[in-house]
């Protein structure tokens, strides 16, 4: 499979704040398609090392291919933040984390993250384990569905959506689910009515908040004194947790 076109998020800013040392040791906990991994590895000209980690096996393979020129400096690992903690590296000069979903995952029809095309309700970042979005919408209680759609998706109409989902069971695909949500929620902005529901499902399936908690607890144990931690986040739930963690580290 061809490597998808990819422009690393805030690459110049990441490199500036990470201040890569040629002989340093670094960790990219979210390899994605290899943009940050490649840029960091290319600067390790003095015997430095990089660990490139991702819970998505396909993304990790893309990263491996993209960074092939510097393969002798990189150790690739497959696993979530929680799994990383089981054999966590220590004494790192820096860590970078680009949180959330990648454009590749969002646009790959077979992954089921989007309602742009019809697909199975999967939404797993790591397709080798865990429950799927189909499991949640078809077997969770109405109350549980409403709770995580409200809490993770910031969707004030969560109870109405959860009621409609339970009534429509079995939910068969992404477009089926999107249609159910759109059938009970009026469009009030440029966003599709199912956008927040899909986001909440994705976060619940992948336990993204719990995984972030694990990472934030792990970071100060891995990075040595004077090391640097760079985190990219675009969601308020994640942003708040990261900022609070950094405030605690600062004191």
All structural domains of the chain with their residue ranges: 11-104+208-250, 127-205
Structure confidence at residue 250 (pLDDT): 87
CATH for the 11-104+208-250 domain, from 1.10.10.410, 3.10.20.30, 3.40.50.150, 2.160.20.10: 3.40.50.150
Structure confidence at residue 82 (pLDDT): 96
Low-confidence spans in the chain with pLDDT less than 70: 1-6
* Model-wide pTM > 0.85: yes
| φ, ψ dihedrals at 200, nearest 5° | -65, -40
Q: Can you tell me the distance from the alpha carbon of 76 to that of 27, in angstroms, rounded to the nearest whole number?
A: 10
CATH for the 127-205 domain, from 2.40.50.140, 1.20.1640.10, 1.10.150.170, 3.30.70.270: 1.10.150.170
Is it true that 11-104+208-250 and 127-205 share their CATH fold?
no
Task: Tell me the two tokens of residue 238.
Answer: 């994640």
């Amino acid at each position: 499979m061809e490597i998808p076109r990819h422009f690393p998020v805030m690459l110049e800013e990441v490199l500036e704040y990470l201040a890569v040392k040629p002989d340093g040791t670094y960790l990219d906990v979210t390899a994605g398609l290899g943009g940050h991994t490649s840029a960091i590895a290319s600067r390790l000209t003095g015997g430095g090392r990089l660990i490139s980690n991702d819970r998505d096996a396909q993304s990790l393979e893309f990263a491996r291919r993209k960074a092939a020129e510097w393969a002798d400096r990189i150790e690739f690992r497959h696993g979530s933040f929680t799994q990383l903690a089981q054999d966590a590296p220590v004494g790192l000069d820096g860590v970078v984390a680009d949180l959330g979903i990648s454009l590749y995952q969002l646009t790959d029809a077979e992954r089921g993250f989007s309602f742009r095309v019809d697909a199975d309700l999967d939404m797993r970042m790591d397709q080798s384990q865990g429950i799927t979005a189909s499991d949640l919408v078809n077997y969770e209680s109405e109350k549980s569905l409403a709770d995580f759609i409200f809490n993770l998706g910031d969707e004030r109409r969560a109870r109405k959506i959860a009621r409609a989902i339970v009534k429509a069971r079995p939910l068969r695909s992404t477009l089926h689910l999107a249609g159910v949500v759109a059938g009970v929620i009026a469009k009030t902005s440029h966003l599709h009515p199912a956008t927040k529901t899909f986001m909440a499902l994705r976060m619940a399936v992948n336990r993204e908040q719990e995984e972030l908690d694990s990472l934030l607890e792990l970071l100060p144990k891995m990075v040595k004194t004077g090391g640097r931690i760079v985190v990219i986040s675009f969601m308020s739930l994640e942003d708040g947790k990261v900022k609070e963690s950094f405030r605690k580290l600062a004191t």
